[in-house]
Structure 1
Amino acid sequence: MIAKISATENLGGALGYNFKKVQHNEASVLCVNELREGFDGTYRIDKVLRDMQALIPEKCRTKKTVFHCSLNPHPDEKLSDEQLTQIAKEYMEALGYGNQPYIVFKHNDIAREHIHIVSLRVDSRGQKINDKFEKRRSKKITDALEKRFGLIPSSKVADKAVEETPKIDTTQRNIKKQVASALRIVLKHYRFCSLGELNAILSKYNLAVEEVKTEFRGKKYDGLVYVPTDEKGNKADPPIHASDIGRGVGYTAVQNRMQKSKQAIKPLIPAIRNKVLQTMRTSPNTEKELRQRLEEQGLRVVIRKNESGRIYGITFIDDKAGIALNGSRLGKGYAANVFNTYFSNPTHNPFLDKTLYGSPSVCLEQSATVQSSQQNTEESDNLIDELFEDMADGSFLPTGNDDWKEAAWQRKLRKLSKVNIRRRKR
C-alpha cells in the first residue's frame, strides 16, 4: 500500500476535488471524524468546508493548513468498505491525526479502488500537527498495516506499475496522456544521473527526451521536450513541451532527480559492475548474446551507435532496482569504446585480464561487502525513503491519474481566483 501525502492551503480545492467525484458517482464518503453529518445522514461540501474552516484559528501561522493523503492498495487487492475504513482510522491515529477532523473518500473511478483523506494540519489552538519525518513515518505505518491486514507489499505496487506501463502508441489520439503516464512512472521509479541514462530508460516506452535552450528578452531559458519514437528510436510524432505536461517532468524537476540520484546510486554500482563483468567473462560473441546473458542477471542493456555502426554509448539498467548506469559510470574499463573494441574483435576479451579487472572472487566479495554494509547504514534507509517519498510527493504515481487531476483542479481554482481579483480591481 502506497501513501501519497500532500500539504496545501486550499481546503475548498481538496474537498471540491473529492466531492465532485461523489457527485458523479465516482467516489463515496466512507467515514468522518469530528465532523457533523446532515439530517439525512449524508455529507455536503458546504457544511464540511464550513466545519473545517471554523476550526482553523484566525491568527494561524501555518500557511498550508490542509492535509491530503491517498492510500493505494495493490491493484489485485479487494478490500471491503469496513476494511478500508479501519485502515484509514488506524493510519490517521498512528500518524498523529486521530483527534483531528477528517473525511475519508473511497474512489472507484478507476479499476483499482483507493481512498483519499482530507484533514487539517493544525489543531484548534493553531498549533501545527507534528510533520517531522512524516513520509518516513508514513512508510513504517503502511508497512505495519500491510502485515496486520495481510496486504500485498507496496514494493509490488510500484513493480507492477512499471511492468504494465505500455509503450507510446502514436496511432492513438491521446498521445500527451500516454507520455504523461509513462513519465510519471519513470521519473519516480528510476534513478539516473544524465539525460543519456534517462533516454536509455525511456526507449523502453518508445519515448525520448531532448534538451532545448531558448533566449527571451536577453534571458536564457533551459527546457525539455519529450518525443514519441518508433521501435528503432526515430521520431514518430511532434515533440511535446514539458510545460504542456506538468512541472513534475520539467527541466528543474529532472535536474533535481539527477542530483539526488548521484548519491543514491553509489552503493549500488559495485553490484551492477560485478554482474556486467561476470557476463562479459562468458565472452558473448554478439550484442544479442550480451543482451540475453545480462537479462539472466536481471539487467537490461541499451547500446547506442552512430551512422557508421560505432558504439558511442552503452547503458545498463536494473528495472527492479530502478537504476540506469552508463558504462563509464561503472569505471573506465566499462566505457562504450571498450565494448566497441571488443565486439569488433570478440576473440580478444579484455575482461578476462585479471590484472585490469580483478578476479571473480574478489569482485563478488567486494560486491557482497558493499551490499551488506548498505543494509546496515542510514544511507540505505535514505535510499528506501527517497523512493517512497518521491512516490508520495507531487506529481505522479501508481495511483492512476488522480493526483494529476487534482493538481489540475487546484490550478484551475487558482486561475479563477486571480481572474476574479482582477475584475474586482477594475
Structure 2
Amino acid sequence: LSDETLMQIAKEYMEALGYGKQPYIVFKHNDIAREHIHIVSLRVDSRGQKINDKFEKRRSKQITDALERKFGLIPGSKITHREMGEVSKIDTTKGNIKKQVAETLRSVLKHYKFCSLGELNAILSRYHLAVEEVKTEFRGKKYDGLVYVPTDDKGDKVGTPIHASDIGRGVGYTAVQNRMQKSKQNVKPLIPTVRNKVLQAMRTSPNTEKELRQRLEEQGLRVVIRKNESGRIYAITFIDDKEGIALNGSRLGKGYAANVFNGYFSNPTRNPFLDETLYGNLSARLDQSATVHPSQLNTEESDNLVDELIEDMADGSFLSTGNDDWKEAAWQRKLRRQNKVNLRRRKR
C-alpha cells in the first residue's frame, strides 16, 4: 500500500474511533512479514476531557473489519500461520538480515513447543539460525539475555549476533523462558508417541545416522545430531514438525540420551534397543508405552539441566554481548520500589 493509502486508512480509523479531532502520529513498520502502521495519540481532548473508551477494543475490531473490506485488505482474523516448510532459510547475501530473522523467529515460536534452548536451536538449525544465552552485569547486578546468529549449512556462525531487543517483542529472554515453561506441560502427552517412533526406528538396527534419519522420516520425525570435534555425539533432538514439538533424547528417557546413541553408532552390532526388559514390547498399546522401565524413566529437571549445560560447553562459549532485557527489568524494579515508598507514605 502507498503512504497515501495508509494515511487515509489511519484517518478513517481515528475518526470512527472518536479521535478524529485529536493530534496523532502514524508510524509505518515493516519489522515483521507484513507492513503495518502504529498510531499514537492522546486520550484527553482540548477541553481536558477524557475521550470515551467504552468497549474500545470491540469498536476497534469492528472498525478494522470495515476498513479491511473497504480497502480490499486480507482480514486479520483469516490469516493463519504459514506452514513451516514455507519459511525461508536465513540468507546473509540478500541483506535485511534482521527482518529475515524476525520473520523466522515469529513463525517458529508460534508453531513449535520446546523446553530448552538446545531444543530451540535444533529447530532453528533448519533455517540457518542459532540462539545463544548471554550474560552481562550492570551496576553490580547480573542479567540474562538472548542473541540470534545466522549460520551456514554446517551450523557455523556466519553473521553478527543480533540482540533480541533489536528484533522486537516476544523473542527476548523472558518471552522464550515463558514459552519453555508452558511447553513442559504441553509436550508431556506427546512424549510416549515420539518415544515409540524412535524405538521402532532403532529396532530396525540402522547401520548409519543416514539410515536412522530415513527410518524416522518415514514416521514423521526428523533428528538433529550434534557432535564435538572428536566426533562424539553430545546432543540428539527429535522433531515432529507437524505437531510442532522438539524433544531432546534425554527428555524421552535415560535410555534415549545422546550417550546411548553415541555408543550404538560406535558399535551398531550391539543394539540395546532390542532388549525388551529395558525398552518394553513394541507391540504393546501406545498408552502402555509410557510404562516406566529402568532405562525409560522420565528424566528429572536436573537431568535436562545437566544435558543443556553439556550442550552449551560442547557447542562453544557464550558471546560476550549485552543483555536485551536488562533495561526494561531495571526500570520495572525501579517503579516497584517507588510504588512501595508511596504506599508506606500513604499508610502514615
Q: What secondary structure does 1:328 align onto?
A: helix
Q: 1:420 aligns to what?
A: none
5+ unaligned residues in a row in structure 1: which ranges? 1-20, 30-42, 71-91, 93-100, 117-141, 147-153, 370-426
Q: Does 1:212 align with 2:134?
A: yes
In the alignment, the residues of structure 2 paired with residue 334 and residue 214 of structure 1 have an alpha-carbon distance, to the nearest angstrom, of 35
In the alignment, the residues of structure 2 paired with residue 45 and residue 113 of structure 1 have an alpha-carbon distance, to the nearest angstrom, of 14
Residues 87-118 of structure 1 deviation map (CA, whole Å, 9 limit, x = unaligned): xxxxx7xxxxxxxx775222899xx95225xx
Q: Does 1:106 align with 2:68?
A: yes
- Percent same amino acid among aligned pairs? 67
Amino acid at match of 2:68: K
Residues 299-333 of structure 1 deviation map (CA, whole Å, 9 limit, x = unaligned): 01000000000000000000010000000000010
Aligned pairs for 1:30-109 within 5 A: 44-45=12-13, 47-50=15-18, 65-67=56-58, 104-106=66-68
Native 8 Å contact 1:105 1:115 kept in 2: no
Q: CA deviation at 1:238?
A: 0.6
Q: Residues 61 and 327 (structure 1 numbering): CA distance in 2 closer, same or farther, change over 3 Å?
A: farther
Native 8 Å contact 2:135 2:144 kept in 1: yes
Native 8 Å contact 2:236 2:258 kept in 1: yes
In the alignment, the residues of structure 2 paired with residue 254 and residue 232 of structure 1 have an alpha-carbon distance, to the nearest angstrom, of 25
Matching residue within 257, 271, 276 for 1:335? 257
Aligned pairs for 1:321-400 within 5 A: 321-362=243-284, 364-366=286-288
In the alignment, the residues of structure 2 paired with residue 247 and residue 108 of structure 1 have an alpha-carbon distance, to the nearest angstrom, of 30
Q: CA deviation at 1:188?
A: 1.0
Q: 2:174 aligns to what?
A: 252
Matching residue within 130, 155, 161 for 1:233? 155
Q: Does 1:309 align with 2:231?
A: yes
Native 8 Å contact 1:328 1:336 kept in 2: yes
Q: Residues 51 and 171 (structure 1 numbering): CA distance in 2 closer, same or farther, change over 3 Å?
A: closer
Q: CA deviation at 1:163?
A: 1.4
Residues 156-205 of structure 1 deviation map (CA, whole Å, 9 limit, x = unaligned): x43x4311000000111110000000000011110000000000000000
Native 8 Å contact 2:131 2:148 kept in 1: yes
Amino acid at match of 1:281: R
Q: What secondary structure does 1:224 align onto?
A: strand
In the alignment, the residues of structure 2 paired with residue 354 and residue 301 of structure 1 have an alpha-carbon distance, to the nearest angstrom, of 23
Q: CA deviation at 1:63?
A: 9.6
5+ unaligned residues in a row in structure 2: which ranges? 23-42, 292-348
Q: CA deviation at 1:66?
A: 2.9
Residues 263-317 of structure 1 deviation map (CA, whole Å, 9 limit, x = unaligned): 1100010000000000000000000000111011000100000000000000000
In the alignment, the residues of structure 1 paired with residue 188 and residue 155 of structure 2 have an alpha-carbon distance, to the nearest angstrom, of 30
Q: Residues 27 and 288 (structure 1 numbering): CA distance in 2 closer, same or farther, change over 3 Å?
A: farther
Q: CA deviation at 1:45?
A: 4.5
Amino acid at match of 2:66: V
Matching residue within 175, 194, 197 for 2:116? 194
Native 8 Å contact 1:104 1:115 kept in 2: no
Q: Does 1:222 align with 2:132?
A: no
CA RMSD across the alignment:
3.4
How many equivalent pairs are there?
266
Q: Residues 354 and 102 (structure 1 numbering): CA distance in 2 closer, same or farther, change over 3 Å?
A: closer
Q: 2:337 aligns to what?
A: none
Q: 2:4 aligns to what?
A: 24
Q: 1:115 aligns to what?
A: 75
Native 8 Å contact 2:120 2:246 kept in 1: yes
Native 8 Å contact 1:108 1:114 kept in 2: no
In the alignment, the residues of structure 2 paired with residue 306 and residue 108 of structure 1 have an alpha-carbon distance, to the nearest angstrom, of 58
Q: What secondary structure does 1:196 align onto?
A: helix
Native 8 Å contact 1:22 1:28 kept in 2: no
Native 8 Å contact 1:27 1:108 kept in 2: no
Q: 2:220 aligns to what?
A: 298
Native 8 Å contact 1:209 1:225 kept in 2: yes
Q: 2:313 aligns to what?
A: none
Native 8 Å contact 1:224 1:250 kept in 2: yes
In the alignment, the residues of structure 1 paired with residue 6 and residue 51 of structure 2 have an alpha-carbon distance, to the nearest angstrom, of 34
